[in-house]
Chains A and B, each alone.
Chain A
Amino acid sequence: MCSRFAEPAARAGIVVLVVLALAACSRERRTFHDSPPAASVAAESAKAVRSDSGVSRDGPYGNNAWALSQGKQLFSAFNCVGCHSHGGGGMGPPLMDSAWIYGFEPANIYATIANGRPNGMPAFKSRITPQQTWELVAYVRSMSGQGSKAARTNRSDEMEVRPAEAQTKTEKPVLVTPPPTVTPPAQEGHP
């Protein structure tokens, strides 16, 4: 399918087209059974990391349209949508904004999904495969405009409730502290 780009044309044009074609091939690749790095990354637990733990900048599927659409389906199928809505949040924090409590690197998000987090995020590692987890990572990142714009979904199968991921502004992720539980006033002077 990709070879159809190799038609007679100006040399420069061919080069451009080949580059585009390779990108498009990566965007369109469908991998049904993959073995992305899992165990070592999942072991990373509470600590937010800023390095990418050997995983590429956008994770294994950040530039793959098919994996992103799989991630979007999984996001509904595993009830992520019930807490995070379509990125705006609810019971859980928003995912389409710039704020990240437990780290924004793909490895951090993987660990959050796999192992859960203390303020209510459940652990999903016993329910989904590492490949599905990475697909979710890719989709979750796309909600705030991370990863390849060309690969992000441009429409929703359901009622429109937010701008499409491909149309969402690319946020600059920042690490924030978890919401303070409580700072009770001092009780000095009282029995």
Chain B
Amino acid sequence: MSALCACALSLNGCGLDVHRTPAGAEGQQPHIVLQTALPPGGTGAQIAAAATAPEDGQWIRPAKDFASSRFSGLNEITTSNVAQLKPAWTFPTGVLRGQEAAPIVVGHMMYVVTAYPNLLYAFDLSKPGASLKWMYNPKPATSSQGEACCDVVNRGASYADGKIIYATLDNNVVAVDAESGKEVWRTKVGDINKGETMTMAPLIVKDRVLVGNSGGEMGVRGWIKGLDLKTGAVKWTAMHTGPDSVVLIGPSFKPFYKKDQGTDLGVKTWPGTTWQIGGGGMWGWISYDPALDLIFYGSSNPGPWNPEQRPGDNKWTSTFFARRPETGEAIWAYQMNPHDLHDYDGVNESILLDIPWHGSKRGILVHPDRNGYMYALDRATGEVLYANPYVHITSSDSVSLKTGELALNPTKEPKMGKIVRDVCPAAPGGKDWQPSAFSPRTGLMYVPHQNLCMDEQPTAVSYISGTPYVGMDVRMKPGMGGNRGFVTAWNPVTGKPVWRISEPFPVWSGALATAGDVVFYGTMEGWFKAVDARTGAPLWKYKTTSGIIGQPVAFRGPDGKEYVAVMSGVGGWSGAIVAGGLDPRDSSAALGFVGAMRDLPRVTPKGGTLYVFSLR
């Protein structure tokens, strides 16, 4: 049955050799191979050369490299010995909310940011048991907890220039001396009284610290900012709504498709002045191509969710941007979801790859959008090379490669006074924030994601500063097949899935790929799992004390050994029922996610523990 479902879900890979491998040990989830003939040399896709670097054993930013590959070149842990992996040391953070951050490793030190109150722990890996060297507490305002839509998470810190830099929930970007733990600078960039919070991990490019705001559910006006690495001073701000002058759209701006061309579309595609409270935050991932000198990222959903209150394309929400890191100047933009109907933020990661394409090499970014399509965009121009479904989609029919337009399914358009049923994917999309990995050895992307649908009904909503601006009742439910999560191996060249692992709960953790041909991910029950990068076959798993929604990383310790680290601690939007102690009788709780997660409290308690694994 699962094989059939996967077949229906893949839409493309199904005429191929589809079979289901035998279920493994007790508790293993079905693992489905959709396409068996993976060439030994891989798919031909490589990490964009300029955006990667030789393996140095460190992990200085959440996505590992500028290409966001999350690939470790370390190969001590392999498919044949990963079964011997054991915890080397653990650390309880004392914070019991969703832990989404990636541990950062610089030299002999490791740094971890917790969920609110955003403590920063520094561990000396050269000491026995990796002793705690210092702890920094940025003391964010307690009231910021009431402005964060989907648990009080933090997606991690980045390292540059001797500083660990991250954003607090109450909109302070802080730079902390990596050696001493002393605050070097602190810049307040947002206002919780307007519903703004910050949860994303900064990307540091040259001397710019790139950050963005959260709050698409609070009527914020979204932005990305470039701060000075030395001082923290804000050097530029690009708004995601409003006139071209503040969106930093100028003469260099060349959108590929006609639908994204025109002047002041950030005003004209909104009724009245609603662009001022129109959402379009930036709480996800940024990639950088040094060869083109462009950063790439997507903006969040428009607000309110009720689409009848904002007729128009609502630019530049749910849009992918290419900008210059020094100045913020926009180079191209592509709006995936004009007039978004279902909370399909555009903030998911993009992995920068060079692929063989119609006989020549093409520099692309691959972006799994919330709307259920895996987009391959030309990095230089924003042209869509393909946009293929990676989950079951009912909300739309296809993406036109000619016009770039998303063909919506009119029967799934929310209208007040009417319940729209079985909208797939649900509001968190085919995939939410949880970042994918890519291995140049297999040429495959490893995509952790969910399989959810929803019923929804818009309600009239008024803007009250600092309160939610949503206007939609939602109840989510498992998608086709009944399992709520997948890990999908995606061939970025053919644009098709290769294998797929079903998980009972949404796979809300990031993925990690290593040169040992092992892929790691965590589950919301608390399993930390290793699978074969070529086949998806299960190799190892370890049960941590709480659900895992963090980002696994690999590094070389001062002792020369390879380690794998991940935070355990359930929460986030999907785990809010546990982290926030929500009531399962209300399926609309947590913006409708509780409807699909009623059984989670029975399988995991809250947590907040760092786990580090090694062989022996």
- A120 adjacent to B464 (CB under 8 Å): no
- A122 adjacent to B135 (CB under 8 Å): no
Q: For this complex, into which size category does the number of interface residues on chain B fall?
A: 35 or more
A181 to B594, CA, bound (A): 24
- A158 adjacent to B457 (CB under 8 Å): yes
Q: Which of B132, B134, B467, B580 contacts A78 (CB 8 A)?
A: B467
| B131 at the binding interface (Cβ < 8 Å) | yes
Chain B residues closer than 8 Å to A127, beta-carbon distance: 464
A88-B582, A94-B582, A119-B146 are known contacts. Are A162 and B587 too (CB-CB below 8 A)? yes
- B468 adjacent to A89 (CB under 8 Å): no
- A78 adjacent to B464 (CB under 8 Å): yes
| B143 at the binding interface (Cβ < 8 Å) | yes
How would you classify the secondary structure of chain B's contact residues: helix, strand, loop or mixed? loop
| B15 at the binding interface (Cβ < 8 Å) | no
Q: Which of A91, A93, A190 contacts B131 (CB 8 A)?
A: A190
- B143 adjacent to A120 (CB under 8 Å): yes
A32 to B469, CA, bound (A): 28
A82-B217, A122-B467 are known contacts. Are A163 and B144 too (CB-CB below 8 A)? no
Q: For this complex, into which size category does the number of interface residues on chain A fall?
A: 35 or more
Chain B residues closer than 8 Å to A72, beta-carbon distance: none
- A88 adjacent to B588 (CB under 8 Å): yes
| A13 at the binding interface (Cβ < 8 Å) | no
Question: Please, which residue of chain B has its CB at the minimum distance from the CB of A84?
Answer: B589
| A16 at the binding interface (Cβ < 8 Å) | no
- B94 adjacent to A83 (CB under 8 Å): no
- A122 adjacent to B468 (CB under 8 Å): no
Q: Output the least CB separation between A73 and chain B (Å).
A: 11
Q: Output the least CB separation between A191 and chain B (Å).
A: 7
- A159 adjacent to B475 (CB under 8 Å): yes
A89-B581, A91-B468, A190-B131 are known contacts. Are A161 and B587 too (CB-CB below 8 A)? yes
A169 to B72, CA, bound (A): 53
- A120 adjacent to B462 (CB under 8 Å): no
A70 to B527, CA, bound (A): 47
- B475 adjacent to A161 (CB under 8 Å): yes
Chain A residues closer than 8 Å to B466, beta-carbon distance: 122
- B94 adjacent to A119 (CB under 8 Å): no
Task: Point out residues on B near A: beta carbons under 8 Å.
Answer: 91-96, 114, 117, 119, 131-135, 137, 142-150, 217, 419, 455-457, 459, 461-462, 464, 466-470, 473, 475, 576, 580-592, 594-595
Task: List 24 A–B pairs whose Cβ atoms lie within 8 Å, in order of A's numbering.
Answer: A76-B459, A78-B464, A79-B467, A79-B468, A82-B461, A83-B468, A85-B582, A86-B586, A87-B586, A87-B589, A88-B586, A89-B589, A90-B582, A91-B148, A91-B468, A93-B580, A94-B583, A96-B586, A119-B146, A120-B147, A161-B592, A162-B586, A162-B587, A182-B94
